[in-house]
Structure 1
């Protein structure tokens, strides 16, 4: 059964346009609630309960109300956590022994977009079969429980404080951050009031960027997808290190005192190196986008790399299949199952800082053994209905580029799971060649759509 609404990270789109409309989101809440009622076996009279958190988008208030109404109609109670990071919802759902968690966020997208993503009672993304069950229920008319069985709503006022303490608990108790000046970019997003407290309470001096949300400035020129703002802040304030999160704080970028940016592959390498020294690393999971240099560097350390499909849900699935604990994406999603059930930007940053302290080195030194190969990614906007896989010209062009690279690189074409884009990626040892070939391949895609 194919998916109609769920992508790699929930249901996402432009607010006011299907499927991100109040009526659809209410029906989504009702369908998800019905799935929970059918699968949860609770004592008589006890309702399933769902935690709802959101980021700072102005549309979050509207969608929260719609979700709450849908769940209530299905006989499901809601616990409202207000503005908290996506990984906080995963943690709180598990800690409060609730049946599911829901996040209202479009992650790194602009404020005009929003989305709904779900977590299971264990704090993990919903399995594919559950998402398909919800989609099937969306085809049925929306009903309503009798009044005596309707769900109720309540707020949890200490949600941010609980999550702050959880994040701090993932940092080694024998270490602290005293003497460290951190530039912290929260993308005007969900971590704006939480992340600064985490690092400050561990002893760091914190200077902030992107911590003044107004409902419409999330990810606007700041955050993990715009690391230039972090680099400038580090240099301007003379910080020792920089930490940048995206709008829902599940991805991470960092930079050193010079302003040089380190992506998810490099940060994963730092954490992996420390875990290997501690004897706690069997292997690492990356994705199809993971830089080939990271695979080579890990292999030299005697560590294997397994590649999953792009998307942190697939990284997590592969971790469970392999029985491993550490994985991530070059976009900055890092999953450390020794610390959390899902990707968490704040927790991942703390693991990098701990590794640097244990080794008494800076980011540049910790990454000295990893020299990333040049990688050029070009996003091509896809025309609705265009089947790029069936275009012979694209297939021929990809084959030609692969032959030209020979064994010195690789090519990857893949559709975005959250936006109408085809991602054209070329990787190799020569930056000029990689850039030229990526542009050439992207132009072929654009020409094929125009034909």
Structure 2
């Protein structure tokens, strides 16, 4: 059986449209409950969410599904995705669930699962849950129905955990930090962590109303934080996404720094300190060629995976590597966490600033990127533009035109109805011509 419900990061879609409906959420939870509840002993699940209005609906549906199979449910409320991974392990839960569509707009939502080890589920586990869901799950005996309990201090537990990843002998005194929480899951914990470590905190995107998550703020719209950094003469800006598992930086001049530069900084420091396991960074096919060349020059191997932080983590676990991530800002440090954590990554950068006394711009520009162009082309549901001959021909022509000094990556998004058309080349005119040709072919095929 192949997966049809799960994408690259759980189940995701437009709220109240299949598959993101209350009915599907209930059935999915029942199937997941049966998958993880393998005996008659008591089992537990933790459920967190971001600040989307639809989170209430899906939280209740998931609770009903899990309790119907005898699972006890612990409701965390709004908490970052990495917080769910942490609390799944901390609370000895059999499964963790995050209700979030990450960087997507408020009308979307998603459901991500974590196993008892705090890691996202494998393709095989998701396929089995889909199989159970399609066959139908028998409910538990009335006397074995699960209970639900709300955990009021989940945010405080996560704050304390994140602070333990910052060197104990350091403080953030004297640093003025803009933190944009995207009106999402970190709107309270993000500023609290920085303030408790001594920073002068300037919060942005910390007034969620259920409909404004990622709305012209956060890691997908860093211009807002960049303007605030310049206005307040801050030392650095931190941009999180809706569930706070990714980070984009703003230096003191208001310049935007992506995940590739952040990974390059952390990898080079860990290499110098003897902390980088296997002298390897795991990233995806999206990362810039400039990063790969920089790492090679300092004796670090870069391994690429499919797009999706869980594929990065899978390769990290296979190779026993401790650093990986994505250009979009998912930074995974398995010394500290089981998944990307924007706030933990931010503290690594801030520790470097404190220890070296160097500015954000000086630290965060570790390599010169090869010019990269990315276009997202929306397509009709049900269409397969990448299978069209004209699109295939345009891609083949583009690869020939760029030659060995360039790179093309054309892929279907796993979270949205988009074809992502990306290319890299030092010849910018040729690069733009190639990308435009492919983009037009995809648009005509859509």
Aligned to 1:149: 144
The one of 433, 436, 439 equivalent to 2:433 is 436
Aligned to 1:261: 256
Does 2:388 align with 1:391?
A: yes
Q: Output the CA distance in 2 between the equivalents of 1:36 and 1:142.
A: 13
Query: Per the alignment, in what secondary structure is the counterpart of residue 207 of structure 1?
Result: strand
Shift of residue 358 of structure 1?
Answer: 2.7
**Equivalence map 1:252-401=2 (5 Å):** 252-281=247-276, 282-401=279-398
Aligned to 2:245: 250
Task: Answer yes or no: is the 8 Å Cα contact 2:182–2:241 preserved in 1.
Answer: yes
The one of 240, 243, 253 equivalent to 2:235 is 240
Q: Output the CA distance in 1 between the equivalents of 2:78 and 2:255.
A: 31
Shift of residue 368 of structure 1?
Answer: 4.3
Aligned to 1:70: 65
Q: Output the CA distance in 2 between the equivalents of 1:341 and 1:115.
A: 19
Aligned to 2:113: 118
Aligned to 1:104: 99
With normalisation by structure 2, the TM-score equals 0.97
Q: Output the CA distance in 1 between the equivalents of 2:293 and 2:84.
A: 35
With normalisation by structure 1, the TM-score equals 0.96
Q: Output the CA distance in 1 between the equivalents of 2:91 and 2:157.
A: 11
Of 387-396 and 268-277, deviating more is 387-396
Aligned to 1:4: 4
* Per-residue CA distance 1:378-417 (angstroms, 9 max, x = gap): 1111223323343222222112112221222100101101
**Equivalence map 1:399-414=2 (5 Å):** 399-414=396-411
Task: Answer yes or no: is the 8 Å Cα contact 1:187–1:218 preserved in 2.
Answer: yes
Q: Output the CA distance in 1 between the equivalents of 2:236 and 2:272.
A: 23
* Per-residue CA distance 1:190-228 (angstroms, 9 max, x = gap): 000100000000010000110000000000000000011
**Equivalence map 1:18-37=2 (5 Å):** 18-37=18-37
Instruction: Give the gaps of 5 or more residues in structure 1.
Output: none
Shift of residue 277 of structure 1?
Answer: 1.0
Q: Output the CA distance in 2 between the equivalents of 1:17 and 1:285.
A: 35
Instruction: Give the gaps of 5 or more residues in structure 2.
Output: none
Shift of residue 343 of structure 1?
Answer: 0.6
Of 388-397 and 198-207, deviating more is 388-397
Q: Output the CA distance in 2 between the equivalents of 1:238 and 1:107.
A: 29
Q: Output the CA distance in 1 between the equivalents of 2:413 and 2:387.
A: 17
Query: Per the alignment, in what secondary structure is the counterpart of residue 276 of structure 1?
Result: helix
* Per-residue CA distance 1:329-369 (angstroms, 9 max, x = gap): 00000101111111100001111111233333223222444
Query: Per the alignment, in what secondary structure is the counterpart of residue 406 of structure 1?
Result: helix
* Per-residue CA distance 1:238-289 (angstroms, 9 max, x = gap): 1110000000000000011110000000001111111011011220011010
Shift of residue 440 of structure 1?
Answer: 1.6
Task: Answer yes or no: is the 8 Å Cα contact 1:12–1:418 preserved in 2.
Answer: yes
Shift of residue 448 of structure 1?
Answer: 2.7
